[in-house]
Structure 1
Amino acid sequence: MAPQYPYGGGTSGDRGGRALRVVLVLAAVAGVVTVVAGLLIVLGSPEEYGLASQRDTLALDAQPDGRATGQPEQAMFQAAPTAPPPLPQINPAPPMLPSTPVRVVIKKLGVNAPVRSVGLAKDGTIQVPPPNDPNLVGWYRHMSTPGEGGPAVLLGHKDTRTRSAVFTRLHEIRNGDQIEVKRQDGTTAVFTVGGVEQANKKTFPTQRVYGQQSNAQLHLITCGGSYDRRIGHYTDNIIVYATMTGSYRS
């Protein structure tokens, strides 16, 4: 029968084996502590490790949405106000002749709304559709018509004092989604979304929204951010940038 030893006893070989295991465990713990300490140093000084620029300039790549589904959610476009509008990953279609827009359709958002031309208000700002018609979209008539070369600008309310409005879900649109604009000449211009931006109204990207472009673009604008009750307005704008990628006869 093999010899039996009381707890804590044993041969010198057994004691040596236990001592070796203790040394290995301590070494492993020390390695983990070293890795954690290194991560804390990097996160505390991201500029020194090439991480700050990636956090400050958010690309259009998919980002985790933080929900249990684990599905990615598109990040908002961010760039300097003078940067050009983001383009979809598809070739633009040749511009068409001018024609007044009459209706805008965004199937993904359940939008099917009439369009009316708007100009400038007395204070020099662009007029918006009257709040008593929450489903109405305004086309800024001093810019291109949708489908014509250059940027066409459509504006709509996010909500009114009593209900949601035509562009209340505009922030849900994603890159690659399509927007259709029916025109007075019987054609429908099809636009593909290339980016969505949330911009503070104090730093509105005027050049990107209204600047001259060679292809036919569509820029949708509504309110976003938080509501400032002191002035009765939202702090930000939601801006959708889309490029014409096709057309058909209605």
Structure 2
Amino acid sequence: MSGYYPYGGSGGPAPTPPDDKGSTALRTVLLVAAIAGVVTVVAGLVIVLRSPDEYGLASNRDALTVQAQPDGKATGQPEQALFQAAPDVPPPLPQITPAPPMLPSTPIRIVVKRLGINAPIKSVGLAKDGTIEVPPPNDPNLAGWYRNMSTPGEAGPAVLLGHKDTRTRPAVFSPLFKIKNGDTIEVKRQDGTTAVFTVGGVEQANKKTFPTQRVYGTQENAQLHLITCGGTYDRRTGHYTDNIIVYATMTSSYRS
């Protein structure tokens, strides 16, 4: 409102105050115009953001993938890759020199400290259908040693089996899927020695394509192969679809 001065100021006589009704109408018009302008700007931004390519605003950042954080706090540590190979490929070895094999001795207990496994071992043979027997389900904290193979610590593969769960509770090898390369497994033997094995690989194999040669084939070093169930539980058959197989090599021993 140019030319308006406060009453008693310079520039001539005081002007007549503006009409209240006219002032109110003018303010209303200006307010509506301002709101309309804001709405127009917001609508334009929405259109541009929805189609950035058409307005030259697309960024290469949209195509970048988020990398895992080195400290593992933001996204967690990546899962260890499972061992995968043809059935006739030898078992994976840990990055450590194998220890010389020992004389045979019956295993009596298996201990995997990091997983909280500490269980007695029972000798098992073949079932009537030709498959390896499994420990009785009424004792969930019990592992089975297949007595037709090497004893743990002896040259060749020693095979231990254990249930993943029973109808009512987890069983001895329930946490086995969490084992990692480099973990150690101890097997206490009847002769008073403990064979220490280092994990070199973990495999999940479909039971229909079980790697028989890799698990039971002849080996020069003292090896330990742990077997339990994995994959999906098939309610129709009452069995899991896969096996979890842990491959470990003896890297030391001590007298208990």
Name the TM-score, length of structure 1 as normaliser: 0.74
Task: Give the 5 Å matches for 1:106-117.
Answer: 106-117=112-123
Match for 1:129 among 135, 158, 167? 135
CA positional deviation for 1:73 = 2.0
1:85-100 aligned at under 5 Å gives the runs 85-100=91-106
Deviation sequence 1:211-246 (CA, Å, 0-9, x none): 000000000000000000111000000000000000
1:104 paired to 2:115: no
Residue identity opposite 2:118 in structure 1: N
Q: Equivalents in 2 of 1:114, 1:123: separation in Å? A: 26
The residue type paired with residue 208 of structure 2 is: K
Which amino acid is 1:198 matched to? Q
SS for the counterpart of 1:209 is helix
Q: Offset of 1:31 from its aligned partner?
A: 11
Q: Which residue of 2 aligns with 1:48?
A: none
- For 1:192 and 1:74, how far apart are their aligned partners in 2? 16
- Secondary structure of the structure 1 residue equivalent to 2:245: strand
**Any idea what the Cα deviations from partners look like across 1:147-205, whole Å, max 9, x if unmatched?**
00000000000000000000001000000000000000000000000000000000000
Structure-1 residue corresponding to 2:162: 156
Q: How many residues align?
A: 197
Mapping of 1:207-222 within 5 angstroms? 207-222=213-228
Q: 2:124 aligns with which of 118, 121, 129?
A: 118
The residue number in structure 2 matching 1:205 is: 211
Please point out which of 65, 75, 81 is paired with 2:81. Answer: 75
User: Matched residues, percent identical?
Assistant: 82
CA shift at 1:30, angstroms?
11
* Structure 1 gaps, min length 5: 1-25, 40-61
Alignment of 1:19-38 (within 5 A): none
In structure 1, the partner of 2:22 is: none
Distance 1:68 1:223 in 2: 32
Counterpart residue number, 2:179: 173
Alignment partners' CA distance in 1, 2:76 and 2:175: 22
Distance 1:204 1:167 in 2: 19
Query: Structure 1 residue aligned with 2:239, among 233, 237, 240?
Result: 233
CA distance in 2, matches of 1:190, 1:142: 21
Bigger CA radius of gyration = 2
SS of the residue corresponding to residue 174 of structure 2 reads coil
Q: Aligned to 2:177, what secondary structure does the other structure show?
A: helix
C-alpha distance in 1 between matches for 2:232 and 2:223: 28
In the aligned structure 2, how far is the partner of 1:68 from the partner of 1:225? Answer: 28
Please provide the CA RMSD for this pair: 2.4
